[in-house]
Amino acid sequence: MKLNYLIKIMFIVFSVIVLYSCKGELIEKVENKSFCDVENVNDSLKLIYGKNDVNVTFKGYNLKNSDVAFSGSNSLNLTKKKKFAFANNFIVEDTTAKYRVTAMVKGNANKVFIVATGKNDFYVQSDSIFERNEDGWQLVRLDFKLPKTFDKGDVVKTYVWNFGGDSIFVDDFSVNVVSLVEKK
């Protein structure tokens, strides 16, 4: 009897090993929800649009700067008095998805947060610089999942917050959905 039990266990373990060894390596697939490089602006309405979508708007037109930019010719200049930019709302389509929000920052990025907020006091913020390039631009990144209290159709607000007193430049703000897919 013990031998039959042991054989069944070994068969299950062997099956699991075979099953998982057949799966390929998983990689991240990043799908862009919205992107803003401060190039698509409407000066008369004082609006900043998403790069390829005029239905997506971002706050911070009054912070537009053409002296320094990561890409294109514009960025937003945040200061001690003007601390917030790129405010954008998105509608939740998948409550189980992982979200990634990024921005390129020039200046003291240690004093910059990317923030996501929503219902029921949901609040998360980035905690570090993800990478730096040789031109002094730094990628700030926030990865998060929504709590189970969120439903499809709920709204999440994302933005950049300069909580330091230094003048900084921010460009290429992006909101993405990240999923794992099998590497081909």
pTM of the model as a whole: 0.81
- Give pLDDT, residue 51: 87
- pLDDT band of residue 108 (cuts 50, 70, 90) is confident
> Residue 112 pLDDT > 60, yes or no?
yes
> Residue 16 pLDDT > 60, yes or no?
no
> Where exactly are the structural domains of the chain?
25-182
> Residue 175 pLDDT > 90, yes or no?
yes
- Give pLDDT, residue 33: 83
Residue 110, phi then psi, degrees to nearest 5: -65, -15
**Domain spanning 25-182, CATH class:** mainly beta
d(CA 95, CA 93): 7
- Give pLDDT, residue 131: 84
Query: Which parts of 2-128 are beta strand (E)?
Result: 26-36, 41-42, 47-50, 53-58, 64-65, 75-78, 84-91, 98-106, 112-118, 122-125
> Residue 149 pLDDT > 60, yes or no?
yes
- pLDDT band of residue 128 (cuts 50, 70, 90) is confident
Residue 178, phi then psi, degrees to nearest 5: -115, 130
- Give pLDDT, residue 83: 95
What is the average per-residue pLDDT within 49-59?
A: 86
